[in-house]
A and B are shown apart, each in its own frame.
Chain A
Amino acid sequence: MNDLLAGLGEALRLILTLDAELIEITLRSLRVTLSALVIACAIGLPLGGWLAVWRFRQRRFVIATLNALIALPPVVVGLVVYLLLSRSGPLGVLGLLFTPGAMIAAQVIIITPLVASIAHQALRDLWAVYHDLLISMNATRWQRVSTLLIDGRRALLTAALAGFGRAIGEVGAIMIVGGNIDGATRVLTTAIALETGRGDFALALGLGIVLIGLSLAVSWASHWVMRTERRGTW
């Protein structure tokens, strides 16, 4: 209980004093996660729409695989990305290991299946409503997908938020490929792991509270943006 209170106090102190290190790692967390999210959405949302619209032979298999990939253990993803990016690995020449770039790559692999799968589920229901109309209007396959993406955007927000939540809270993979280097690849989650290991529970908890606050703030902000979306944007 004391630890919890101390953690709250520490969180308040860090935030009120605008602690320079806290701000740095928070911004890095956000930058890494949002970059990964943008890439994951750019791949996952159209993929979800495509899977809703496009009937092909292995469709069920692809969807089942996608759903299995959601459960990919992040540590294993981290390990594989590590091996790919290590100096002797096939992508070693990129020199990405222990940089934010490597962390983004690992997170993209972890959250893209989640984003695609949630998007697919939402868009499949919308497609059931729109199917006859879009076929009748002779929409091309790409027009069908883009119509679903536009009109299903509220549901897609949920997909993106789920991806954000998973990425911002992820620690296993980015610890391995980022290395938790102070001033370079340390982010909120890896800092929490470090401080916990060191026994500085108050600081760890303080960082944890900042992390949760961040997720809440992003979720609120995006819902607010959706609600106040202008009418008649077409």
Chain B
Amino acid sequence: MVAVLPLRLTGASLRRRGKRLVGPVDLEIGAEGVTAVIGPNGSGKTSLLRMMHGLQRPAAGRVDWSLPEGVARTRQAYVFQQPIALRRTVLANLAFPLRLRGLSRAEIRLRAEAQAARFDLTDKLAQSAPSLSGGEMQRLALARALITEPEILFADEPCAALDGRAMREIETRLIEASAQTRLIIATHDMGQARRIASDVIFLLHGRVHETGPAQTFFDSPGTPEARAFLKGDIVE
């Protein structure tokens, strides 16, 4: 079903001013599933997602999609750890990715309103996005990212500012979306990772420390560090 995948990282690493943020990473992201990217603060989750998405070029190694990069770029979406609000109304924020694609006004409006309904934002449509609460903004960011029906979505802590109920709502939306969109989700919430992930990438000090199916990883992690991390201990 998915044409841009698999995504292949070969020895890919990201550097900033001589410091290695993540990598070298060798990974293959297959066509199906929900991947949880987990690891302690500063382990490189955000950096890995940004590198995969092409926001930052790898300093070494390769990031290859199954389609030419120009095409692949149009079929992805990204939800930032700190959501970015366009200084416009919620409706205009939802409409924005569709407007970039040159859809007709009537269709844009229809889809934006439907998306708002799905993400419980209908009564906020006329409000300016920067004035939304943190949790509302996160819902908007996810709704906006999914409105183009991307083939793959990178979501960096998409539920960090949500209360329990809103988080379950969003997880439901994510699971719905996973029928047509490959999901790569960085999360701190192990409960969430267990609920929605089909496989796990465990990062430590910028390296992929362990990967595998979620079930296996959570039931019997293969490395002492992963075991310690899951127990909530400090990982060295």
A residues sitting closer than 8 Å to B (CB atoms) are 126, 129-130, 132-133, 135-140, 143, 147, 151, 231-232, 234
- Complex Cα gap A151–B130 (Å): 12
Chain B contacts with A in 81-136, Cβ cutoff 8 A: 84, 86-89, 91-92, 95-97, 100, 126, 128
9 contacts between A and B (CB under 8 A): A132-B55, A136-B80, A138-B73, A139-B100, A140-B100, A143-B100, A231-B89, A234-B88, A234-B92
A143 / chain B contacts, CB cutoff of 8 Å = 100
- Assess whether A136 is in contact with B89, with CB atoms less than 8 Å apart: no
B51 within 8 Å of A (CB atoms)? no
- Complex Cα gap A84–B184 (Å): 62
- Assess whether B100 is in contact with A138, with CB atoms less than 8 Å apart: yes
B78 within 8 Å of A (CB atoms)? yes
A-B contacts counted at CB < 8 A amount to 44
Instruction: Name the residue of chain A whose CB is nearest to the CB of B83.
Output: A133
- Assess whether B74 is in contact with A151, with CB atoms less than 8 Å apart: no
Instruction: Name the residue of chain A whose CB is nearest to the CB of B80.
Output: A132
A137 / chain B contacts, CB cutoff of 8 Å = 77, 96-97, 100
- Complex Cα gap A234–B73 (Å): 25
B194 within 8 Å of A (CB atoms)? no
- Complex Cα gap A133–B93 (Å): 11
A232 / chain B contacts, CB cutoff of 8 Å = 89, 91-92, 126
A139 / chain B contacts, CB cutoff of 8 Å = 100
- Assess whether A130 is in contact with B84, with CB atoms less than 8 Å apart: yes
B53 within 8 Å of A (CB atoms)? yes
Instruction: Name the residue of chain A whose CB is nearest to the CB of B105.
Output: A234
- Assess whether A136 is in contact with B77, with CB atoms less than 8 Å apart: yes
Instruction: Name the residue of chain B whose CB is nearest to the CB of A136.
Output: B78
User: In whole Å, how far is B123's beta carbon from the nearest beta carbon of chain A?
Assistant: 14
A136 / chain B contacts, CB cutoff of 8 Å = 53, 55, 76-78, 80
- Complex Cα gap A88–B100 (Å): 50
B100 / chain A contacts, CB cutoff of 8 Å = 137-140, 143
- Assess whether B89 is in contact with A151, with CB atoms less than 8 Å apart: no
Instruction: Name the residue of chain B whose CB is nearest to the CB of A154.
Output: B87
- Assess whether A151 is in contact with B73, with CB atoms less than 8 Å apart: no
Chain B contacts with A in 39-63, Cβ cutoff 8 A: 53, 55
B74 / chain A contacts, CB cutoff of 8 Å = 138
